[in-house]
Amino acid sequence: MSYVLTLVRETGILAEDLAFCRRNLCVEKEEWLSKGTAVDFFLDQQISQKHFNEIKLFNKTDVFYQPVKDRQKKALFIDMDATLLNGETLDQVAKHMGVQDKVTAITEQAMRGEIDFISAFKRRISLLRGASSNLFDQVYKETPLQSGAVELVRTLKENGVYIVLISGGLKYFTEKAAVQLELDEHYGNDLVLEGGFFTGDVIDPILNGPVKEKILRDISQKRNLQSSECLAVGDGANDRYMLKAAGCGMGFYPKDRLLPSCDQVIFHNDLKAVLYAQGYRLTCGQVVGQ
């Protein structure tokens, strides 16, 4: 069996979709990862483009198609805002300070390519001058973990996977997430605090897309990992570098500019879909190793 097609639909995979796969694909083996919601079809030959295009249109279903070899990765590199966390921490700080509209306007300029990430980041950060460390603490408490994040981290750690959080946001928040979830490493931008208040400055170098890629490559080399053994997950254009550098780059509700860099995408399910894509099973409400 050379290939595996995985269907994930949290509200239940439709009977007609299962029938389509069984009828049109050369299925050698079928295995449920979570009864009713996630299933693997193992195949000896590739799916035709026609059939694959039809499968991708299955209603509210995430579809993963890949070689069986190196399916389960040894390292996960994951973005923070709108990926591991269900929210944008900088936007939340700006909202508390009454400057959200200004911060959002700069973000939109960067998304249109009118200004580069580093310039946009510094301009947004400068608007947060005077924010207290207590406010940052409050924002983190108000920003929930993404649904499925706990299961994702717990399962991968139980199976010996090295987990690295890499964010173009603030290290102040990546540290809190890393401690809460017991991640192996974390990276973010260092802000300058004086007397418990943010000065509006950050410490260079700014952690942008190319730096995310460098971190992934450096850690992979240090841990003697091939790119095929690495998984990167993110949602924004700034993640495209690390997604392209990983053996599998997965978009989690990805922005349009990230889509061309994604090997796999999640559009309908929570972070447990990252586990199902790698062949982990759900038993008695808990995801377990294959």
Q: Is residue 198 part of a domain?
A: yes
pLDDT band at 108 (very low <50, low <70, confident <90, very high): confident
Domain boundary among 69, 97, 117: 69
On whether both 65 and 151 belong to a single domain, the answer is no
Domain count within the chain: 2
Which of 94, 254, 90 has its CA nearest to residue 173? 90
pLDDT band at 289 (very low <50, low <70, confident <90, very high): low
On whether both 254 and 281 belong to a single domain, the answer is yes
pLDDT in tens, 127-157: 999 999 999 999 999 999 999 999 999 999 9
On whether both 169 and 57 belong to a single domain, the answer is no
Domain holding 59, by residue range, is 1-69
Tell me the CATH number at 168.
3.40.50.1000
Q: Is residue 126 part of a domain?
A: no
Q: Is 81 a catalytic residue?
A: yes
pLDDT in tens, 58-99: 999 999 999 999 999 999 999 999 999 999 999 999 999 999
Q: Is residue 249 part of a domain?
A: yes
Place of tokens 């509210």: 60
pLDDT band at 283 (very low <50, low <70, confident <90, very high): low
- Residue in 40, 79, 239, 263 annotated catalytic: 79
Whether the CB-CB separation of 170 and 89 falls below 8 Å is answered with: yes
On whether both 27 and 79 belong to a single domain, the answer is no
Instruction: Find how far residue 14's CA is from the centre of its chain.
Output: 26
Which of 181, 206, 217 has its CA nearest to residue 119? 206
CA 209-79-253 angle, 5° bins: 100
The answer for residues whose C-beta is within 8 angstroms of residue 3's C-beta and 6 or more apart is 42, 43, 44, 45, 46, 47, 65, 66, 67, 68
Q: Is residue 99 part of a domain?
A: no
On whether both 46 and 27 belong to a single domain, the answer is yes
On whether both 161 and 273 belong to a single domain, the answer is yes
On whether both 53 and 176 belong to a single domain, the answer is no
User: Going by DSSP bridges, is the β-strand pair 3-8/38-43 parallel, antiparallel, or unpaired?
Assistant: antiparallel
pTM: predicted TM-score of the whole model, two decimal places: 0.94
> Is 90 exceeded by the pLDDT of residue 109?
no
Q: Is residue 154 part of a domain?
A: yes
CA 160-162-168 angle, 5° bins: 155
Which of 127, 135, 140, 134 has its CA nearest to residue 200? 127
Overall average pLDDT of the 108-115 stretch: 74
- In the chain, % of residues over pLDDT 90: 87
- Residue in 62, 81, 91, 239 annotated catalytic: 81
Q: Is 79 a catalytic residue?
A: yes
pLDDT band at 288 (very low <50, low <70, confident <90, very high): low
Overall average pLDDT of the 171-177 stretch: 97
pLDDT in tens, 179-190: 999 999 999 999
Tell me the CATH number at 32.
3.30.70.260
On whether both 204 and 277 belong to a single domain, the answer is yes
